[in-house]
Amino acid sequence: MEKTIFHVDVNSAFLSWTAVKELKLGSSLDLRTVPSAIGGDEKVRHGIILAKSLLAKQYGIVTGEPIVSALKKCPSLVIVPPDYNLYSKNSNMLFTFLSYYSDRLKIFSIDECFIDYTGMERLWGNAENVATSIKEKIKKQFGFTVNIGIGPNKLLAKMAGELGHADEINTIYAHEIKEKMWPLPVSKLFMVGKQTTAKLNHLGIFTIGQLATYDNNILEREFKSNGTVIKSHANGVADSYVAPIYHHHIYKSISSETTVPYDVTTKEGAYKVLLALSQNVAQRLRRKKMYANGISISIKTNTFKRYSKQISIKNSTDNTDVIYSTAVELFNIIWKKEPLLLLGLSADRLSENETSQISLDDNTNIKKQRAEQAMDKINNKFGRNTVTRCALLNSQIELTKRISFSKDDSDTSV
């Protein structure tokens, strides 16, 4: 049986969720109908754009650009501060609703997911009809819109979801690849970023169709193993597995990142963000009873340059202080004193068993471990960050959580 996969993606999620909330509170202005954005503080013209309306997009405003730049493009731009608790609430509400239609749902980000609808036709009916029903129910019950892409695997479903306009349903089945996907610019293909696009263009590859039929040897020479991957994607070949909600996942990495609503320009400012990231990742490691054998960090500057660095650690760990000190070490190596708008941290090469060498510091480590376990217990009972480190009090650092899984169990790659 050929798979039927849905990709559900909220249109302008942060802005839409904020607009719905303000309308419910009595506002006469729907942010989605004017040039508007979610970002930092408009009064001091500080911070970056985290999300924007379609009308703001028409002014050339892009996610991640400084507010001062966006206001030059559109002086009347309405800017609203982010509300991460609202986003989390809406995200959970959406995924709970969608899980009613299939027990195989994979969250891909805070505002998008994959649903394996294979075999559910006998219960709910034709896939495209059900997708239409889902889209309309979300609009009526929750007040925001979604795009739904349908395909035989996650890649084609995601590509289908990005066709057309907002509040639409589109398909890319196997027999539609040449017609719907191949004419698209190669930059539209999943896993093809700016640098890869530039290299492909240099080879004379400008469309997905050209990539799909390009010489394998040249692609492997230029892109190593990734050349085979992107050519497979251009031909619509990719993983289609979506694990059941109750599935026992094998974790490969646990990570967290934050796009800060202001430029980080000092080591002290960056260290505070890294501490928040380290605490978050360590708490989740302990909750999953996993240990990290490697740590990696990534940063993005306010000119959108990305840097990353990773390192193996001698003893596997779930300890915040160990993760934090390693992250600081890596940060000091890669930071070039450029203003930063994003920092991320990942605990990698996870294992279920702790490995460590006997040390004179063991007694101290045991005390730290007990202290963190006590903090976890309180936070689990009374809410996240009920107990936190003094350095993070009133920091208002909001984190995006990510998890990757091993390929033989529950791969989240498209």
Rounded to 5 degrees, φ, ψ at 186 are -60, -25
Positions marked catalytic: 112
Q: How far apart are the first and last CA of the chain?
A: 20
Q: Which two tokens stand for residue 313?
A: 């650690």
Integer CA distances (angstroms), 172 to 115, 152, 157, 190, 368, in order? 15, 8, 7, 14, 53
- The vertex-61 CA angle with 59 and 63, nearest 5°, equals 155
Query: In sequence order, which residues have a C-beta less than 8 Å from that of residue 335 and are 6 or more positions away?
Result: 267, 270, 299, 307
CB 167 within 8 A of CB 201: no
Helices (H) and strands (E) in the chain, counts: 14, 13
CB 54 within 8 A of CB 32: yes
Integer CA distances (angstroms), 138 to 30, 167, 407, in order? 18, 10, 32
- Only one residue has tokens 């730290």, namely 368
Strand ranges (DSSP E) for 76-141?
A: 78-80, 105-109, 112-116
